[in-house]
Structure 1
Amino acid sequence: MLVHSTFSGAEGPLSVAIAWGDGTTDTVTADASEPLVSKHPYTEVGQYTVTVTVTDPTTNTQAVNKVTVTTLGSDFTPHAPLRLLDTRNGTGQAMGKVPAYGSTSVKITGSGTVPDGVTAVVLNVTVTNTTASGHIIASGSGRPMPSTSSINYGPGETVPNLVIVPVGSDGRVNLDNRGWESVDLIADITGYFAASASSGYTSLSPTRFVDTREGQGTAKGQVIGHGSFGVQIAGAGGVPKGATAVSLNVTVTNPREAGHLTVYPSGQAAPTASNLNFTAGQTVANSVIVPVGPDGRIMVRNGSWQPTDVVIDVNGYYTPNSQAAYVPNHPIPTRMVDTRNTGKQLAARDYMHLLDAPNVEAYVLNTTVTNTTGTGFLSVAPDPNTREQYENGTATPPARPISSNMNWTAGKTAANLAQAAPADSGMVAFWNQGWENIDLIIDEFGYYGTD
């Protein structure tokens, strides 16, 4: 936070005390003829009253001025997974599909324990009962509809994706069906953001916590049908004790039958909400933000009647001590990359570098892969090179990550949210881990800032 002070009617040096409203005070000597610019980092979001007291030692007089400031960004509050919308059975709206090029809205405030005044919400949105191709756009009620997409779907597909979307002044978000046929939509909440002190975000380089194929993080072997297992999150793999929620990328592979996966905090029964849907033999991933149970664990339930393998990568966590607050792109998300418009696809086994902003803990992105001719997966990881190194030709390829953010098959368009942590250089690498070229689309929804 910056405070600009100017002085009049005084000469010589002045003693300036700035009480920032959070219990801290800075005292400096200022030249009366020059404006004073003071900078202060707040450790919690909120509204503060800054009091500036100027003392002229020559005349022993004082002047006091006060100003109210509001910090940039919002903190996160986890919410037990809760279904807010299901057009198949009339949850959240009258039963019935969302028509072609139609929309529905989801009431956020007042649902569950969500208070008035929230700035953004975390939803797992699923489109199902599709008969044609299209995409879904999530946006804040009362805001312009962005040109970016949240979910892409084809005929006969059930596709989920995590979205972090601004909440309109009426407490709602809109879901628009941009397809030529009607679809069913499902929306489950797992948390919300507000401009009051709660939990900030800390990013991690993607870290594998669970791989049932290898027995990492849980027993080796597929998760049985309608079976579940627990994962220790807090106090493990760089996540501290006291974490309130965790940001994951969850992948299902080798499923023997169609089904869904549910991730939820330990200490409670499995909710009706789901995090990702799969078909027999499919490898599919989805981002998940989930509260951590009182014992520091989360639970994973296989909703299929048959076994499947599960892989979990952790890319960040929320705690009251984390200082990065969420700042959405205003007024709408921004399309940063679309290789379809450049005529140059992302080459097989290659990467592209992107982004370079100071004081960013993580970027909130929607990544989409399309025009695929084979199978593969996308990895999003920090890139230690600087922009200057790329410009002068001295950059070296970063280590190839083993974590995955999204999986695809030939002819399919796949999308997934990525909470992408930059390296100290501010750069992020996007790896095509397949053996064929792909088109990549990257939409920025916001970022977690530390300033």
Structure 2
Amino acid sequence: MLVGAVLWTTMVAAPPADAAPPPAPSVVPTSSLADRYVPVTPARLMDTRTIGVTVDHQDEAGGPLGAGTVHELTVVDRGGVPATGVAAVALQLTSTGATQRTWITAYPHGETLPGTSNLNPEPFQVRSNLVIVPVGADGKVDLRNALGSVHLIVDVQGWIPTSDAFTPVVPTRLLDTRSTVALTAGATVDVEIGGVAGVPALGVGAVVI
């Protein structure tokens, strides 16, 4: 479990992480939805495959990412995302053609590589994950492949405006059961988030995990 950002709202609790749909909120947030997330028509920003085509023909058919390779991806002023006022973007990351088990890390361009992963490619598998990534000061995000080589496809799904409603933090791992005991069927685990890893103890409506 990774925490990567904080969403600030008023008197709104995060829905329970179970299979049932959450009940309708009884309190209307004081900040509008547009202050927190703006969806866009999904648009392809990157496709490293030889058949890859992107919305504006940038970052297409560039070949797989090698071990330790970092691709600088411009995410503003593309695919419905404005050129300014963007705090973070919602990206669908998809991997294919991995030569070995590896991991992809997405993070703001110009910042230190965090010790976390956003996508875990496997050989002979197509894998995908939706991530929220803060945008660097130059409108870019970095995408790093750890091991082997892998093709990466990136589709933008939406963006978060620069406002007090969203506060990015350094991605931090809060839970990893590999070093302890795996969760059994039906088991639950409580994870402390408030007051941890840059998340304030009070005044937080939700976090991006």
1:170 is matched with which residue?
138
Which letter maps to 2:204?
A: V
Which letter maps to 1:335?
A: R
> Quick check: 1:344 aligned with 2:181?
yes
Give the Å deviation of 1:145.
0.7
> Quick check: 1:361 aligned with 2:180?
no
Measured in 1, the distance between the counterparts of 2:93 and 2:173 equals 20
1:86 is matched with which residue?
47
> Quick check: 1:103 aligned with 2:70?
yes
In structure 1, runs of 5+ residues without a counterpart are 1-41, 46-73, 197-323, 366-451
Which letter maps to 1:143?
A: E
Give the Å deviation of 1:361.
2.4
- Identical-residue share of aligned pairs (%): 38
| CA distance 1:145–1:356, shift in 2 (3 Å) | closer
How many pairs does the alignment contain? 165
Measured in 2, the distance between the counterparts of 1:140 and 1:353 equals 29
Q: Select the structure that is richer in strand.
A: 1
Measured in 2, the distance between the counterparts of 1:354 and 1:347 equals 16
> Quick check: 1:327 aligned with 2:171?
no
Give the Å deviation of 1:356.
5.3
Q: How does 1:289-308 map to 2 (within 5 A)?
A: none
Provide the secondary structure at the position in 1 that maps to 2:66: coil
Query: 1:309-336 CA deviation, whole Å, 9 max, x = no partner?
Result: xxxxxxxxxxxxxxx933222xx21110
Q: How does 1:30-429 map to 2 (within 5 A)?
A: 43-44=30-31, 75-88=36-49, 89=52, 91=54, 92-93=58-59, 95-115=62-82, 116-179=84-147, 181-196=148-163, 325-329=165-169, 332-341=170-179, 343-355=180-192, 357=194, 358-365=202-209
RMSD value over aligned CA atoms?
2.2
1:87–1:184 Cα contact (<8 Å) kept: yes
Give the Å deviation of 1:112.
2.6
Query: 1:56-92 CA deviation, whole Å, 9 max, x = no partner?
Result: xxxxxxxxxxxxxxxxxx6221111111111112643
Query: 1:100-120 CA deviation, whole Å, 9 max, x = no partner?
Result: 221212211111332223110
1:137–1:151 Cα contact (<8 Å) kept: yes
Please say which of residues 79-88 and 346-355 is displaced more in the overlay: 346-355
Provide the secondary structure at the position in 2 that maps to 1:125: strand
Measured in 1, the distance between the counterparts of 2:42 and 2:101 equals 28
| CA distance 1:356–1:138, shift in 2 (3 Å) | closer
TM-score, normalised via structure 1 length: 0.35
Measured in 2, the distance between the counterparts of 1:353 and 1:191 equals 30
Measured in 1, the distance between the counterparts of 2:65 and 2:157 equals 23
Measured in 1, the distance between the counterparts of 2:190 and 2:119 equals 24
Query: 1:395-443 CA deviation, whole Å, 9 max, x = no partner?
Result: xxxxxxxxxxxxxxxxxxxxxxxxxxxxxxxxxxxxxxxxxxxxxxxxx
Measured in 1, the distance between the counterparts of 2:190 and 2:31 equals 32
Provide the secondary structure at the position in 2 that maps to 1:79: strand
Query: 1:13-34 CA deviation, whole Å, 9 max, x = no partner?
Result: xxxxxxxxxxxxxxxxxxxxxx
Measured in 1, the distance between the counterparts of 2:64 and 2:116 equals 22
Give the Å deviation of 1:360.
2.8
Which letter maps to 1:360?
A: V
Measured in 1, the distance between the counterparts of 2:31 and 2:186 equals 42
Measured in 2, the distance between the counterparts of 1:353 and 1:44 equals 29
Query: 1:248-275 CA deviation, whole Å, 9 max, x = no partner?
Result: xxxxxxxxxxxxxxxxxxxxxxxxxxxx
| CA distance 1:356–1:146, shift in 2 (3 Å) | closer
1:139–1:145 Cα contact (<8 Å) kept: yes
2:25 is matched with which residue?
none
Provide the secondary structure at the position in 2 that maps to 1:193: strand
Which letter maps to 1:363?
A: V
| CA distance 1:360–1:153, shift in 2 (3 Å) | same
Measured in 1, the distance between the counterparts of 2:90 and 2:80 equals 14
Give the Å deviation of 1:363.
2.3
Measured in 1, the distance between the counterparts of 2:86 and 2:207 equals 20
Measured in 2, the distance between the counterparts of 1:128 and 1:105 equals 19
Measured in 1, the distance between the counterparts of 2:37 and 2:64 equals 32
